[in-house]
Amino acid sequence: MRRIPNRTAKFLLRMTIGCLLLLLLVLGSLMVRVAPAWVETPIASVSLWQNNRTGLRIMGYDFTCTSQKAAGQTIDRCTTTIQNSSLAMTLTHAKPYRAFETQGIICQAAFSGKAVPCEVWFDFATGNRPNVVVKDSLGLSNVDLQALRQQHFLSQISDSTWNDIVLGIAIAASLLAALSAWLDPNTLTKMFAGVSLGCLAYGLAQTGLGGMVYRAGREIDLSRWLGIVSNLAIVLGIVVGGAAIRLLRSHSRVARIFTILGSAYGIFSLVGYVLLFSVLALGFVD
């Protein structure tokens, strides 16, 4: 089998990295536009039933809403258009403000002027803005519901699927980092790998030493012990990171292997944490 020239391999790698960055940019812009945490309408979302369970969720960005206070109550009214028909929702709060509780909220909904049953629920992403569940498929066919899912596809992704997406992107990024370190183990790559290995040592020390207090079988001042563990972990991380950077400066095979492993671990952790924080902050997962 003919070997791919190193220059061609580097070009293909950069193209792949560019495609991944473009994918992340597009995904990020779409997520920001429909982020549950940034909904400002009094009703955060509406979910429609399908086969006696929640089958479709539409965020409040598509709602037209009004609010009023009367007789010590807060009344929120929102409407949205679904398949050229109007869905109207009215929530009457027993208190003059929106509370993070379902008790005391009267939910009323109508589709094309016909009353349909509904209820409310809360999540941490939308705060005191309730989510409405319309316990009816509104006579929509499976084709109609599928079209709506495609139109609002980001709102249909479950927590577990988001976790899988984050994990998949982090793994892909780590593989690209490993390949980059293999093709071009430059000084910057080696320093990043050394710092990553130091961070790994810090994390392992925190986990291993921190858990010893529970295995000791005797009373230990927990806060004091965790303080000692934290300091030891920092020292170990710095020592390992410094030693790794010094080792990786050489051109040996061992140094190259550790450069690849360190780069892969560092990028996996960095991308994974950034993406996980993003989906949490934007409210796509609780």
Say if residue 129's pLDDT is above 90.
no
27-41, 50-64, 125-139: range with lowest mean pLDDT: 50-64
For residue 1, pLDDT over 50 is answered with no
What does the pLDDT average to over 87-93?
92
pLDDT at 36 over 80: yes
Instruction: Look at residue 52 in the predicted model and tell me its pLDDT.
Output: 62
Which residue is associated with the tokens 């950034």? Answer: 274
Which three-class secondary structure state does DSSP give residue 55? Answer: strand
**CA 245 – CA 99 distance, rounded (Å):** 54
Confidence of residue 25 (pLDDT cuts 50, 70, 90): very high
How confident is the model at residue 164, as a pLDDT? 95
The helix or strand, by DSSP H or E, that contains position 10, with its residue range, turns out to be helix 6-33
User: Which CA distances in Å does 55 have to 47, 58, 90?
Assistant: 7, 10, 21
Percent of the chain with pLDDT over 90: 29
What count of Cα atoms within 13 Å lies in the side-chain half-sphere of residue 75? 7
- Enumerate the domain spans of the chain: 6-30+159-281, 39-151
Q: Which residue has the higher pLDDT, 260 or 66?
A: 66
Token readout for 1 is 């089998």
Tens of pLDDT, residue by residue over 230-285, are: 888 888 888 887 887 777 777 778 877 888 888 888 889 989 999 999 999 998 98
Q: How many residues does the chain have?
A: 286
Q: Is 120 left (phi over 0), alpha (psi -120 to 50) or beta?
A: beta
Residue 220, pLDDT above cutoff 80: no
Amino acid letter, 208: G
- Which helix (H) or strand (E) covers residue 91, if one does? strand 85-93
- For residues 17-32, average pLDDT: 92
**Dist. CA 141–CA 247, nearest whole Å:** 64
Distance of CA 23 to the CA centre of its chain: 16
205 to 214, 215, 218, 251: CA distances (angstroms): 15, 15, 21, 29
End-to-end CA distance of the chain: 50
**Contacts from 22-30 at CB under 8 Å and sequence distance 24+?**
24/169, 28/278, 30/154
Check residue 194 and give left, alpha or beta (phi > 0: left; psi -120 to 50: alpha).
alpha
Highest-scoring range by mean pLDDT, 1-10, 81-90, 196-205:
81-90
- Which residues make Cβ contacts (< 8 Å) with residue 262, sequence separation at least 6? 181, 192, 193, 194, 196, 197, 200, 244, 248
